[in-house]
């Protein structure tokens, strides 16, 4: 669409064919480009702030046997990173210790694979008997493969040096890792050694070049624009042909039109191009900027919607991409399974029937009913 308006603006620079001042098109076109560029710059700036917030987070690491806080961007491969409950994992780690006596922890991988159910991670057997004091002093080697984007597989080996253990090699799998962008849940603390950082993490390797996204409304408008343009070309050709025929038969005989006696080679193009400029208003030049402004307003409504706020996690709605926000209004059906990918695994005891007696109130939570509580006590 922008190419079409740029073509019209360039044609208006030809004084022979333009019926209006070029400023009437170049002015609005400049405003359109400024608004579009400002919108893209605003989206890029918000992404920059998001990345900066992640990189500026304070993370506990162990350096030279001393636990200290550094910025997430300062984590290097080999650092021992300490996490607490609900912390976001800043890089790919090999789990070496947790607060759980069984050596397990729980992670939420929704940001990585879309699944909301928690996954269990376990420390390698070689680290099973290490105390929290020893975790900050261990020395060893983790033999890792080259960075890749396979979040389901990790084949590596770990060796710890004396005096902790005597060079025993321990195999590692994906169940021994904590991957970037996941969250530590229902575990007081966990620690791991950094194996991949920055763009070499599995999450970073999965990121590709962002492609422009078109909404259903954009696709429909593009199709309508093409249809209008084809109709416009047909009208221009018809009127241009009729205009040239009239000019050859009558127009050149009218002295007051002041047509030159010698016609240039492009003379047959003048009338059709004039009609093209006159018909250019069939496609409004303001449609692009209007859509961009409307999309920005949609995104702000989503961000400020109190009904899309999760009080349990204190998480508001956030429109990550203002270009496709109106697609939410096109959703008619949601097809979901029970694996936790699109749903939350929350089991609620609604009602029960014991010896023909129905227990549970209108709230739909049987555990809140006093009759159910008395029955359970009996």
Residues carrying an active site annotation: 337
In whole angstroms, give the CA distance from residue 280 to residue 299. 31
94, β-bridge pairs: 177, 193
Contact status, residue 72 vs residue 56, Cβ threshold 8 Å: yes
- Tokens representing 180? 């970037």
**Of 73, 38, 69, nearest in space to 52 by CA:** 73
b/e 357-373 (16+ beta carbons within 10 angstroms → b): eebbeeeeebeebeebe
**Adjacency order of strands within the sheet including 80-84:** 66-71, 58-63, 80-84, 189-196, 92-98, 177-178
**Of 103, 76, 104, nearest in space to 90 by CA:** 76
Q: What is the 3-state secondary structure (H, E, C) of 97-118?
A: EECCCCCEEEEECHHHHCCCCE
- Dihedral sign, CA of 70, 72, 74, 80? positive
């Amino acid at each position: 669409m922008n190419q079409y308006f740029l073509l019209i603006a360039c044609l208006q620079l030809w004084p022979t064919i333009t019926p209006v001042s070029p400023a009437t098109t170049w002015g609005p076109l400049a405003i359109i480009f400024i608004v579009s560029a400002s919108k893209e710059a605003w989206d890029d700036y918000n992404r920059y702030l998001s990345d900066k917030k992640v990189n500026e987070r304070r993370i506990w690491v162990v350096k030279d046997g001393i636990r200290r806080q550094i910025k997430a961007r300062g984590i290097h491969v080999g650092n021992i990173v300490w996490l607490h409950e609900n912390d976001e994992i800043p890089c790919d780690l090999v789990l070496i210790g947790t607060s759980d006596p069984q050596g397990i922890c729980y992670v939420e991988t929704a940001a990585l694979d879309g699944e909301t159910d928690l996954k269990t991670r376990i420390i390698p057997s070689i680290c099973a008997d290490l105390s929290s004091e020893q975790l900050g002093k261990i020395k060893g080697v983790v033999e890792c493969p080259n960075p890749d984007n396979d979040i389901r597989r990790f084949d590596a080996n770990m060796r710890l040096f004396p005096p902790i253990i005597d060079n025993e090699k321990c195999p590692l799998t994906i169940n021994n890792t904590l991957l970037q962008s996941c969250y530590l849940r229902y575990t007081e603390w966990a620690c791991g050694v950094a194996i991949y950082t920055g763009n070499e993490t599995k999450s970073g390797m999965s990121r590709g070049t962002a492609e422009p996204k078109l909404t259903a409304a954009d696709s429909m408008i593009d199709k309508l624009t093409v249809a209008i343009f084809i109709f416009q070309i047909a009208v221009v050709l018809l009127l241009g042909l009729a205009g040239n025929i009239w000019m050859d038969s009558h127009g050149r005989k009218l002295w007051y039109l002041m047509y030159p006696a010698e016609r240039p080679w492009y003379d047959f193009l003048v009338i059709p191009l004039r009609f093209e400029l006159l018909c250019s208003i069939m496609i409004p030049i303001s449609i692009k900027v209007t859509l961009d402004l409307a999309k920005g307003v949609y995104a702000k409504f989503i961000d400020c919607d109190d009904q899309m706020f999760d009080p349990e996690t204190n998480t508001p709605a956030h429109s990550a991409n203002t270009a496709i926000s109106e697609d939410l209004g096109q959703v008619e059906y949601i097809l979901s399974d029970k694996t936790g990918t699109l749903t939350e695994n929350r089991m609620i005891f609604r009602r029960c029937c014991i010896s023909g007696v129905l227990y549970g109130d209108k709230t739909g939570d049987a555990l809140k009913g006093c009759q159910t509580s008395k029955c359970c006590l009996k």
